[in-house]
């Protein structure tokens, strides 16, 4: 209501001003119309003299100091009505003989004095307009001062925008953070430093100046910072790296100075900078139009963290998922003494995370959090939180009282592959997709070094018309050459099934994503892992991304001849795996046809049922399954 009232006032101000001046003009002219009705027509001064000489004028009223006259006379040729008419005549200023002539003609005339109201209202009008204008501008200025970056804050550009909390009450403690125990231990020491510094100073230990949290998105870096703020009980500043840099030169450096000035006034304290790579990127050579303002901000940040004066009692906690692009001067000890890796959780960590997020969820007795943790390798904490939330949404949509395993399964599929689409109708296309997915699954089942099949489905999700899920071996840090070849062969199983069953002319575009995955794995085997006839050589780095100012001028580490041999080796690896996949299709055509008929009928086959059917026709190799200790 308050904001709408302000809008109404803003719209009424111009209307009131216009109405005031119109009313003032009308009031000033009303004096002339009060003595006699307003003349309907005008008459020139020359014609007025002609009427005066011919005796047609009966009376004259003078107004405005003799500048205007209302003449009553007889019109010889009236158009409508009476012959007595009234005219308005503008008199010249140099016509003193007019009064004498009126007296000689014995014509009644009267002079009406000017009213002083016009001067009074004119003075008021001259005062009211500036007052209203100043009041309106003041009101707009106050309103814009509440808008971030508005004109009312023009003098605050150089001030830090960090959120300050004297006693941070984030509602999050270390008990609410699970799955990253190593990182928690590192940061709990920081809290202990702040609460009991004498324990460490007694043995000569120095409080760390900075802690850098590094890890993929969604692993809990910001959550850890909130937990530190909730546990430490000291003043806490939080800001994003992008809030330092503006389009104005010097603003970022000024904000850094202001932030550390406030932090020194409240030491000991914590300063959390989220996404520090926005301001801490490596200083380049200007190639590609480098942002010099960002580099000035970084230089000021380096000086404040460990410069000539120092910043005793201030602990900087920063988070990023791009530690590879940070400037080396920012990463050195003395600025960031500790680098804490916050990685995706293992099976035990996922179980602990699920237990935290399941506190406010109503789960049925059949739901096993351990089973969910086994099904979700590679999931981060944010993924697991989203998984349980999606399951809760599906439960509410289906009007169930508690979350059951079908909702969990559907939520996993939705998070990984996307929203469920419309089921396929029974047609040639559906059978072709069924052969494609069974081709993936049969190869993955019959190859000993491949991960076991979890389920095969024809229910579309996202861009995929069908999906084959495999359960990766948990905690598999190293991958052998045979395992990589098995994955390439299974990825080519769909295309091999299409070609063997339907012929080369009926091969579809459904294997496009599979082929991209295959090409990437085969090229890594040749260029990075040394698993080809080229020998144990690493021809490419871990990342092929170009970083402006550092890698733009980097050239290839091998010649064109080696590049040609790399392509040959990649084609040889993929060709051999593709022939193996086609051979599996030819040798097990009977079981493939039965699995396709069952899949078209049921639309989904779980991994255990799939393996039982395959075992009726051939020997299924036993695969080593990792059983972790929880």
What's the full length of the chain, in residues?
Answer: 630
Do strands 604-606 and 453-457 pair parallel, antiparallel, or not at all (unpaired)?
antiparallel
Type and span of the H or E element at 485: helix 481-491
Question: Residue 566: which residues within 8 A CB-CB, separation 6 or more?
Answer: 523, 526, 527, 534, 539, 558
CA nearest to 518, candidates 495, 547, 549, 552: 495
Tokens 């002079």 -> residue: 111
Whether the Cβ atoms of residue 278 and residue 245 lie closer than 8 Å to each other: yes
Both tokens of residue 567? 């392509």
Other C-beta atoms closer than 10 Å to the C-beta of 468 total 26
For residue 608, indicate whether it is catalytic.
no
Tell me if residue 137 falls in helix, strand or coil.
Answer: helix
Distance CA 386, CA 382 (A): 6
For residue 85, what are the CA distances in angstroms to 21, 67, 166?
32, 20, 87
- Residue 107: Cβ-neighbour burial (10 angstroms; 0-12, 13-18, 19+): middle
Catalytic residue among 295, 437, 498, 499: 437
Q: Which residues pair with 461 in a beta bridge?
A: 420, 464
Tokens 């789960």 -> residue: 363
Q: Which residues pair with 165 in a beta bridge?
A: 236
- Residue 99: Cβ-neighbour burial (10 angstroms; 0-12, 13-18, 19+): middle
**What's the number of CA atoms in the CB half-sphere (13 Å) around residue 91?**
20
Type and span of the H or E element at 468: strand 467-470
Q: How many helices (H) and strands (E) does the chain have?
A: 22, 14
Crossing angle for the helix pair 428-446 and 607-615, to the nearest 10 degrees:
80
- Residue 523: Cβ-neighbour burial (10 angstroms; 0-12, 13-18, 19+): buried
Tell me if residue 461 falls in helix, strand or coil.
Answer: strand
Annotated active-site positions, please?
A: 437
């Amino acid at each position: 209501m308050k904001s709408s009232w302000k809008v109404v006032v803003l719209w009424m101000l111009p209307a009131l001003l216009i109405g005031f001046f119109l009313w003032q003009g009308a009031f000033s002219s009303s004096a002339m119309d009060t003595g006699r009705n307003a003349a309907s027509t005008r008459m020139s001064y020359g014609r007025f003299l002609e009427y005066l000489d011919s005796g047609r004028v009966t009376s004259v009223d003078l107004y405005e100091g003799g500048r205007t006259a209302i003449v009553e006379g007889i019109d010889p040729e009236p158009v409508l009505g009476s012959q007595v008419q009234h005219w308005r005549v503008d008199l010249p200023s140099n016509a003193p003989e007019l009064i004498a002539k009126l007296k000689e003609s014995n014509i009644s005339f009267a002079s009406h004095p000017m009213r002083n109201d016009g001067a009074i209202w004119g003075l008021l009008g001259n005062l009211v307009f500036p007052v209203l204008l100043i009041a309106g501008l003041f009101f707009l200025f106050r309103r814009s001062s509440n808008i971030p970056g508005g004109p009312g804050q023009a003098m605050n550009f150089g001030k830090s925008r960090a959120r300050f909390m004297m006693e941070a009450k984030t509602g999050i403690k270390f008990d609410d953070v699970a799955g990253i125990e190593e990182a928690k231990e590192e940061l709990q020491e920081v809290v202990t430093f702040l609460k009991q510094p004498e324990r460490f100073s007694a043995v000569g230990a120095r409080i760390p100046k900075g802690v850098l949290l590094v890890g993929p998105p969604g692993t809990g870096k910001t959550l850890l910072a909130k937990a530190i703020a909730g546990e430490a009980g000291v003043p806490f500043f939080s800001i994003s790296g992008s809030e330092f840099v503006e389009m104005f030169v010097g603003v970022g450096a000024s904000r850094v100075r202001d932030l550390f000035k406030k932090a020194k006034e409240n030491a000991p304290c914590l300063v959390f900078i989220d996404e520090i790579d926005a301001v801490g990127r490596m200083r380049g050579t200007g190639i590609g139009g480098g942002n010099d303002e960002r580099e000035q901000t970084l230089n000021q940040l380096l000086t404040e963290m460990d410069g000539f004066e120092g910043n005793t009692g201030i602990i900087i906690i920063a988070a990023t998922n791009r530690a590879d692009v940070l400037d080396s001067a920012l990463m050195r000890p003395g600025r960031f003494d500790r680098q804490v890796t916050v990685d995706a959780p293992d099976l035990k960590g996922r179980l602990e995370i699920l237990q935290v997020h399941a506190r406010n969820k109503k789960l049925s007795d059949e739901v096993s959090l351990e089973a969910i943790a086994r099904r979700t390798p590679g999931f981060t904490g944010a993924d697991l939180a989203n998984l349980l939330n999606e399951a809760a949404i599906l439960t509410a949509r289906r009007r169930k009282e508690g979350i059951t395993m079908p909702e969990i399964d559907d939520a996993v599929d939705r998070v990984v592959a996307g929203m469920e689409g419309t089921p396929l109708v029974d047609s040639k296309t559906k059978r072709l997709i069924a052969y494609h997915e069974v081709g993936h699954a049969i190869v993955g089942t019959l190859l000993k070094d491949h991960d076991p099949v979890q389920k095969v489905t024809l229910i579309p999700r996202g861009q995929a018309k069908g999906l084959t899920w495999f359960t990766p071996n948990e905690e598999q840090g190293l991958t052998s050459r045979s395992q990589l070849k098995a994955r390439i062969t299974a990825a080519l199983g769909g295309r091999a099934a299409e070609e063997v069953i339907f012929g080369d002319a009926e091969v579809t575009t459904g294997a496009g994503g599979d082929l991209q995955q295959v090409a990437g794995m085969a090229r890594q085997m040749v260029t990075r892992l040394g698993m080809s006839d080229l020998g144990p050589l690493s021809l490419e780095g871990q990342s092929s991304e170009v970083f402006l100012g550092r890698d733009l001028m980097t050239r290839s580490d091998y010649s064109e001849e080696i590049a040609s041999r790399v392509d040959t080796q990649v084609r040889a690896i993929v060709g051999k795996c593709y022939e193996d996949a086609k051979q599996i299709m030819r040798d097990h055509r009977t079981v493939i046809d039965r699995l396709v008929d069952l899949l078209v009928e049921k639309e989904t086959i779980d991994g255990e049922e799939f393996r039982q059917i395959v075992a009726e026709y051939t020997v299924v190799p036993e695969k080593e399954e990792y059983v972790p200790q929880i």
